[in-house]
Amino acid sequence: MFVQRCGVSVAITLLFAWMITTSSANASSSNDHPFHSSPEAAVREKKIKPSVTIQPAADSRQNSYPIILVHGLGGFDQLYSLKYWGGLNDIKQDLTKRGYDVYVADIGTVSSNWDRAVELYAQIKGGRVDYGKVHAETHGHARYGRTYSGLYPEWGEVDEETGKVKKVHLIGHSMGGQTIRVLTQLLQNGDKNESASTDSETLSPLFNGEKKPWVASVMTISTPHDGSTLTYHVQDVFPKIQQLIAAFAAVAGNREIMDYDFKLDQWGLKRLPGESFDAYMKRVCESKIWEKNKDTSEWDLSLPGAMELNRWVQAQPDVFYFSVSNEQTYRSILTGHELPEPLMNPAFYSFSIYMGRHTRKTDDFVVDRRWFKNDGMVNTRSMDGPSLGSTDLIVFYEGQPERGKWNHLGMMRSYDHLDVIGWGVRDLRPWYRELAALLASLPE
């Protein structure tokens, strides 16, 4: 099958597409239990409240920096009635009503964290995406990408009234957490290879090495800082992909999801006008991008790829870092493996079972039972902050955040990978209000 050349990244994107069409169909039929087989199961899940309560660092708002929401693998801003941040609700709109400036990024769905980070930079600041001369030549894709007007063009400028730099808070879900770490690293340190090999007139400001203290905080949710063992599940995933495509069409009444865009323009894989999703998918899967290439999400989400990223992407001393972990598995008393809880999204069952028992040993790391607990896509062990190949420090947050360290906010128990962004029956808007209040309480 042509899809066998794609990575697990595309398989998961297709899984998301199935969920999108399912949610849309459920919404249109007034179904109040998306992803559940019965209203009773939905009622049980609604009773499970967030186990992570957020304590602000101060009693009042100390800053008014905008919040940028950054999606993970396979993500988007909005498709049909489904918001990436909130599902059938709208987290951005809810926070905006409460006085926060919030923007939602929409970057490459299966691209590498480097490519996604430079796209995010251009999308926030405005301008043409510059992947870097050296990076583009090394990996064999175009140097320049799309042009954006800017979500927050004044980002990085000095406020004339306060004399202070206009910063942002970055919140990333899943791979989005890795992406915002990379962006923060590049803003503060640039890239020596790019600056040494690129004409100063064409060098992107992101790579020039001039410190840009433009990020107030980094918040990661369900992020595979040390990678996910799901990336080893490729051979088991592929046979299901074409079945999933057929399922999308059936659930959506043969509706073209088909508004979906992988945003792989740099690889010459821009979706053509009128092109069917199946034809677009075939072009993506037959591309050279998947041939021993490290410039993809597939590599960055693997354990060796995450370790490589962790070695050069470090916590910056003047930035607040926060992390949230989650899980929805239980330990089998018979095998000691982790199994999906009954209320986990059924689409994650096979993934969760695989991660809940997978072991591996290499010269660089050991995957043992500590990696078993998961949320259906990411090992919980990987979520509190980077450790493989990293010197970053991880501390537990107790009301007084520390700059330059990972302040772990705690574990969301019985929440799968999409529950934490509101895909399901639980309304996560109140919880995100707590996160926003924490960020606004940080000192300037």
Contact by Cβ (8 Å): 120, 98: no
Q: Is residue 345 part of a domain?
A: no
Question: Is residue 366 classed exposed, middle or buried when 0-12, 13-18 and 19+ CB atoms within 10 A define those classes?
Answer: exposed
Rounded CA gap, 340 and 325, in Å? Answer: 16
Q: Is residue 336 part of a domain?
A: no
Supply the CATH number for residue 259's domain: 3.40.50.1820
Q: Which residue has the higher pLDDT, 404 or 43?
A: 404
Q: Is residue 367 part of a domain?
A: no
pLDDT tens digit string along 71-110?
A: 998 888 887 677 899 988 999 999 999 999 999 999 998 8
Expressed as residue numbers, the domain containing 161 is 2-326+378-440
What total number of domains does the chain contain? Answer: 1
Could you list the beta-strand ranges (E) of 102-249. Answer: 102-104, 127-130, 144-148, 168-173, 215-221
Residue 243 has pLDDT above 50, yes or no: no
Enter the DSSP assignment of 77: S
The least confident of 239-253, 325-339, 382-396 is 239-253
Q: Is residue 35 part of a domain?
A: yes
Q: Which residue has the higher pLDDT, 320 or 239?
A: 320
Contact by Cβ (8 Å): 36, 42: yes
**Does residue 390 carry a catalytic annotation?**
no
**Does residue 106 carry a catalytic annotation?**
no
Residue 417 has pLDDT above 70, yes or no: yes
pLDDT tens digit string along 309-334?
A: 999 999 999 999 999 999 999 999 99
Residue 406 has pLDDT above 90, yes or no: yes
Q: How confident is the model at residue 288 (pLDDT cuts 50, 70, 90)?
A: confident
pLDDT tens digit string along 134-189?
A: 999 999 999 999 999 999 999 999 999 999 999 999 999 999 999 999 999 999 99
Q: How confident is the model at residue 271 (pLDDT cuts 50, 70, 90)?
A: confident
Question: For all residues of the chain together, what is the average pLDDT?
Answer: 88
Structure token pair of residue 175:
């791979």
Residue 249 has pLDDT above 50, yes or no: no
Which one of the listed residues 174, 204, 352, 390 is annotated catalytic? 174
Q: Is residue 364 part of a domain?
A: no
Q: Which candidate, 143, 172, 158, places its Cα nearest to that of 68?
A: 172
Angle at 311 between CA 13 and CA 178, to 5 degrees: 30
Q: Is residue 387 part of a domain?
A: yes
**Does residue 228 carry a catalytic annotation?**
no
pLDDT tens digit string along 203-215?
A: 999 999 999 999 9
Question: Is residue 396 classed exposed, middle or buried when 0-12, 13-18 and 19+ CB atoms within 10 A define those classes?
Answer: exposed
The count of residues in the chain is 444
Q: Is residue 29 part of a domain?
A: yes
Q: Is residue 349 part of a domain?
A: no
Which one of the listed residues 173, 225, 233, 417 is annotated catalytic? 417
Which one of the listed residues 94, 191, 295, 375 is annotated catalytic? 375
pLDDT at position 18, please?
55
The whole-number average pLDDT for the span 279-291 is 79
